[in-house]
Structure 1
Amino acid sequence: MFSNIGVPGLILILVLALIIFGPKKLPEVGRAVGQTLKEFKKSARELTSDAIDDVKKETKDVSDTFTK
């Protein structure tokens, strides 16, 4: 998604963010975005591990049925 932005695009985005939010508010906005991404990744990891655990449990149940 962001692979096509490049350095000039990032500089433009940073300048626009600086103009919109101002130099005092920009670190707070960055921190909030970082925390949001961190929580999203954590939730995605938990969902993935729960799904994998469910599949492993179902697979074990099926294999136990066939081995009896």
Structure 2
Amino acid sequence: MIGGIGLPELIVILVIALLVVGPKRLPDVGRSIGEAVRGFRRAIKDADKLAVEESEKSRHDGRAGRSD
């Protein structure tokens, strides 16, 4: 099950994609969509990593500025 999509739904999606795109272009379209999803996930992961680094940096800078 992929994100709430079961096997019957996946089969329906593939049949519709086959009818819309055609059998010759379906592998290319699937590959392009896969690459786009991977790129999007990579961008989200990089943004999360940057946010964590910035948060840790600001937390560290905040502690360094305090003199108790």
* Alpha-carbon distance between aligned partners in 2 of 1:59 and 1:2, rounded to the nearest angstrom: 35
State the Cα deviation string for residues 13-65 of structure 1 (Å, max 9, x = none).
11111111111100001000000001001111111111111111100111111
More helix by share: 1
Aligned length: 67
* Alpha-carbon distance between aligned partners in 2 of 1:17 and 1:44, rounded to the nearest angstrom: 27
Q: Which runs of 5+ in 1 are unaligned?
A: none
**Counterpart of 1:64 in structure 2: which amino acid?**
A
* Alpha-carbon distance between aligned partners in 1 of 2:62 and 2:3, rounded to the nearest angstrom: 43
Match of 2:53 in 1: 53
Where do 4+ consecutive residues of structure 1 move more than 2 Å?
Answer: none
| Aligned Cα root-mean-square deviation (Å) | 1.6
Q: Which runs of 5+ in 2 are unaligned?
A: none
How far the C-alpha of 1:12 sits from its partner, in A, is: 0.9
* Alpha-carbon distance between aligned partners in 1 of 2:62 and 2:14, rounded to the nearest angstrom: 54
Percent identity of the aligned residues? 34
* Alpha-carbon distance between aligned partners in 2 of 1:42 and 1:6, rounded to the nearest angstrom: 25
